[in-house]
């Protein structure tokens, strides 16, 4: 097991290294740099600033400096956010994004399991059809549309009913609920479908009949037999889902004014903020690699037939 984890971490390290390298050179190949702005500065100014930030050095040298600093865990200072360490930006941004992301994943997982179970239980009856309509909506409508509508709806409701429900992120937990729900919607819809099909398979299996013969009621059967056996696909997509939710939160974050990392990432790209781009890329890359590994390990716990790290 530990050998397996080590091997995976090593390959993950190379993955991140690869991503970082490609991003680094890709980023520099794109026209423009962090210093360019609408109004052109003089050649002298440009030279002075290039020298200050080390852009006058050959690219490979900049690359090695980047590698060296990254190895020391230092992504440097942001170009466009003066005086801010990229490390601090990531730390702050991610703590916000993580709160939002974890909530979104929880919503998606619970919602997906709940709706999936309902559709499976009422297969080809109206609750099934009704939920599946929403599922198709959830999969096909992009989250920013839902986000705008949700916000408008809350504002409207607040006005009509004289409420003060938070319609944007103001740092409180409650204000994260709606953004998280919206953010998790796509995943929830996808999970519902997945859960439905895998539950339908399990519901008719022999061991569910056995459980019935043991005298278990339907909730007990659902909890410890049906759910446990149908949840594997859910866990499978949880890794990618965490990825898409944490990186896809940009629009939600701007609409609901949540100062998350997704927002910083996109702003970094728009501004050609080299250090911020590299910092967030390496961070996201490592995060995803780690998440996929965690999911693979969790697999082993959920399905005892899967032996993590044993070759066949």
Partner 1 sequence: MRIINRFAVLFILLLISSCSEQGNGVDFNKRSVSVIIAAEPPTLSTVGPVSSIGIFFQGHIFEGLLRYDENNKLSGGVAEKWEITPEGATFHLRKNAKWSDGRVVTAHDFIYAWRLGASPENEYNFITFPMKNASKIAEGKLTSDKLGVTAVDDFTLKVDFEAPCAYFPALTTFTTYMPIRQDSFEKWGADKYAVDPEKMFYNGPFVLTEWKHGVSLKMTKNNYYWDKEKIWLNEINVPAITDQSTTRFNMFISKDVCMVNLEDSNSLKSALKRRLETPMKSFSSGFISYLEFNNREGRPTANKNLRKAISLVINRSDIVNKVLGIPGYKPGSTMFPSWLGGYEKLLHEEYDFNLPLESLSEAQKYLALAKEELGMEEITLTYLYSGGPSTDGMAVYIQEQLMNKLGIKVNLDKQIFKIRIAKSLSGEFDFLGGGWGPDYNDPMTFGDLLASWNQNNRGKFKNEKYDALVVQANNSVDQKERMDCFYEMHKILHEEVPVFPIFESGGIYLADPRLKGFFRNIIGSDPQLTYARIEEDE
Partner 2 sequence: MNLIEIKNLKKFFEISKGSFVHAVDGISIDIRQNEILGLVGESGSGKSTLGKVIAGLHGRSSGEVKYQGELLPEVYKASDFLRLSKEIQMIFQDPYSSLNPRMTVEEIIGEGLKIQGVPSAEVRKKVKEWLEKVGLQSEHMSRFPHEFSGGQRQRIGIARAMIVEPSFIVCDEPISALDVSVQAQVVNLLKELKDSFGLTLLFIAHDLSMVRYISDRIAVMYLGKIVECGDADEVFFNPQHPYSKLLIDSNPIADPQKEKLREFKSIEGEIPSPVNIPEGCRFAGRCPSASEECGKVTPQLKSIADGHEVACHLFK
* Residues at the contact surface with partner 2, assessed by CB under 8 A: 205-207, 209-218, 220, 224-225, 228-229, 302-305
* Whether the Cβ atoms of residue 177 and residue 103 lie closer than 8 Å to each other: yes
Q: Pattern 25-54, binding to partner 1, x per CB under 8 A?
A: -----xxxx-xxxxxxxxxxx-xxx--x--
User: Per CB under 8 A, does 271 bind partner 1?
Assistant: yes
Minimum Å gap between C-beta 146 and partner 2 is 35
Minimum Å gap between C-beta 224 and partner 2 is 7
User: Per CB under 8 A, does 152 bind partner 1?
Assistant: yes
User: Per CB under 8 A, does 69 bind partner 1?
Assistant: no
Please give the Cα distance from 286 to 302 (Å, whole number): 24
What size, in residues, is the chain? Answer: 312
Q: How many C-beta neighbours within 10 Å does residue 9 have?
A: 13
**What does 155 interact with, of partner 1, partner 2, none (CB < 5 to 8 A by kind)?**
partner 1
User: Per CB under 8 A, does 172 bind partner 1?
Assistant: yes
User: Per CB under 8 A, does 265 bind partner 1?
Assistant: no
User: Per CB under 8 A, does 108 bind partner 1?
Assistant: no
Residues that bind partner 1 (CB under 8 A): 30-33, 35-45, 47-49, 52, 77, 80-84, 89, 92-93, 148, 151-152, 155, 158-159, 163-175, 254-257, 259, 263-264, 267, 269-272
């Amino acid at each position: 097991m530990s050998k397996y984890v080590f091997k995976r971490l090593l390959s993950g390290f190379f993955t991140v290294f690869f991503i970082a390298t490609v991003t680094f050179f890709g980023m520099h190949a794109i026209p423009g740099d962090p210093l360019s702005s609408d109004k052109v500065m003089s050649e002298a100014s440009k030279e002075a600033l290039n020298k200050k930030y080390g852009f006058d050095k050959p690219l490979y040298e900049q690359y090695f400096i980047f590698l060296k600093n990254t190895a020391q865990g230092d992504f440097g200072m942001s170009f466009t956010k003066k005086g801010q360490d990229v490390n601090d930006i990531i730390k702050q941004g991610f703590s916000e994004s993580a709160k939002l992301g974890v909530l979104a994943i929880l919503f998606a997982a619970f919602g997906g399991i709940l709706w999936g179970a309902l559709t499976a239980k009422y297969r080809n009856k109206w609750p099934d059809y009704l939920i599946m309509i929403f599922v198709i909506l959830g999969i096909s409508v992009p989250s920013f549309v839902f986000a705008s509508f949700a916000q408008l709806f809350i504002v409207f409701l607040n006005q009509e009913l004289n409420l003060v429900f938070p319609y944007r992120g103001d740092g409180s937990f409650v204000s994260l609920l709606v953004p998280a729900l919206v953010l998790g919607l796509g995943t929830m819809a996808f999970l519902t479908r997945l859960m439905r099909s895998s539950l339908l398979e399990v519901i008719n299996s022999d061991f569910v009949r056995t459980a019935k013969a043991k005298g278990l009621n339907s909730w007990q059967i659902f909890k410890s037999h049906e759910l446990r056996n149908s949840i594997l696909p859910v866990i499978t997509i949880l890794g990618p889902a965490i990825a898409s939710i944490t990186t896809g939160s940009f629009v939600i974050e701007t609409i609901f004014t949540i100062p998350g990392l997704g927002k910083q990432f996109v702003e970094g790209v728009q501004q050609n903020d080299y250090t911020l781009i590299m910092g967030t890329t390496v961070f996201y890359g490592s995060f995803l690699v780690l998440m996929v590994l965690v999911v693979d390990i969790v697999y082993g716990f959920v399905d005892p037939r899967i032996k993590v790290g044993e070759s066949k």
